[in-house]
Amino acid sequence: MAPTEPPVADESTSVHEHPYLPDYAGGCISNVVPALLEWDEAPDWLPRPAVGAEQVVLLVLDGLGWEQLQDHAHLVPTLASLAGGPVTSVVPTTTATALTSITTGLPPGEHGVVGYRMAVEGEVLNVLRWSTDSGDARVRFPPERLQDVSPFAGQRPPIVTKAEFATSGFSGAHLHQVRFHGYRLPSTMLVHLRRLLQANEPFVYAYYDGLDKVGHEYGFGDCYESELVTLDRLVADIIDMLPTGAALVITADHGQVETGGNVTTPHSQVLAETSMQSGEGRFRWFHARPGRSHALLEALTTHHGHQGWIRTRDEAISQGWYGSKVSDMARARMGDVLLAPWGTMAFLEPADTGPFQLVGRHGSVTSAEMLVPLIGTRG
């Protein structure tokens, strides 16, 4: 799966020589919805309880990586008991890109939401906030035009997600043409799910963002563990309400790593060749000043070659990082050279920062971020 990589100078990181790339043709989050809604034959990576189910609830637990699930299995007896295994996320391993792959059933190269922050018409659009430097971008970049593929094969299933996401630009991009059921609290999420199942909906998509939030803010400490325990109870409650013949399938958009304070500013020689940065701390895109892309690549290789994978736009595309097809639009939204760290570190850019310093992060192509569960059970 992984292409041959040049040798890494720093021996302590030699285990990370190979990026963990998505399995776009097989067990990948971009194939889950097509397998559930469209394919005649169930692939072998689809959890058995989902096969032939009369109703399916697909629950996406933001930030639940397969490796973190294994590390904390003792805290989550319900999740640990479900049938299935790991599948891959997409590149980059970030919410904006991965959720769009889940709902549209397409790799990033085809749906074009290629990052958390991506270049659109000379500006950097923060996809999750749907804003640029000049503020709210919902009018300037209409979300359903920036990503115009109908999610869920155009079947307009009911969506159970947080009510405040109803007017979010990112919802407009990855959840247009759906029936929106907003919940304020996890307890009322259960009520929405129960009603939809009782109304015999064949497919319901549900989304929960708590674990990712806690991981970002606190890392893998006691807050993360407490959230996992709470989450496991929520999953148990959903399973309890499943009618006979209904299945619960759980997956995630990406995993996480704890970077803590291990945040580095790119070298000044790199910044000297850079006109703007997009992506995020663990998937940093550098946009070269005019005519300086070769100098930029050289500076990156010299100063950060020991810290992560460095790829030009063309290299990453030809090595299949974003899927076998990459549209011109998707290509135009990428930076000239990317830097994805293999260790537990991040590359700082002031424009990225949110309301708090992130402790847990994701975006790169390590197994901790790339592998997510695809597990399920029957009612």
Chain residues binding another protein by CB under 8 A are 62, 95-96, 99, 128-130, 134-136, 139, 162-171, 209, 212-213, 216, 354-355
* Structure-token pair, residue 245: 């013949």
- The strands making up 117-120's β-sheet, listed across from edge to edge, are 117-120, 123-126, 131-132, 135-136
CB 246 within 8 A of CB 378: yes
Task: Calculate the CA 83 to chain-centre distance.
Answer: 22
Q: State which residue, 8 or 99, has the beta carbon closest to another protein.
A: 99
User: Nearer to another protein by C-beta: 9 or 139?
Assistant: 139
Q: How far is the CB of 144 from another protein (least distance, A)?
A: 15
Going by C-alpha positions, the residue among 252, 213, 235 that lies closest to residue 99 is: 252
Q: What is the largest CA-CA distance in the chain?
A: 63
Of 30 and 168, which CB lies nearer to another protein in the complex structure? Answer: 168
Residue found under tokens 């991506």: 118
Strands 158-162 and 371-378: unpaired
- Decide whether 10 or 133 has the Cβ nearer to another protein: 133
Please calculate the CA angle 196-197-202 and round it to the nearest 5 degrees: 95
Least CB distance from residue 130 to another protein, whole Å? 8
Q: Closest approach of Cβ 219 to another protein, in Å?
A: 14
* Nearest-approach distance from CB 128 to another protein, in angstroms: 4
Tell me how far, at minimum, the Cβ of 132 lies from another protein, in Å. Answer: 11
Which DSSP helix (H) or strand (E) runs through 180? strand 179-183
- Asked if residue 280 lies in contact with residue 363, where contact means CB atoms within 8 angstroms, the answer is yes
| Closest to another protein by CB, 162 or 181 | 162
Alpha helical stretches, state H, the chain = 32-37, 66-71, 77-81, 95-104, 108-111, 143-146, 169-174, 186-198, 210-218, 222-241, 268-272, 293-304, 313-318, 328-332, 367-370
Nearer to another protein, 100 or 366 (CB): 100
Output the smallest distance, CB 163 to another protein, in A: 8
Please report how close the Cβ of residue 113 comes to another protein at its closest, in angstroms.
12
Residue placing its CB nearer to another protein in the complex, 328 or 356: 356
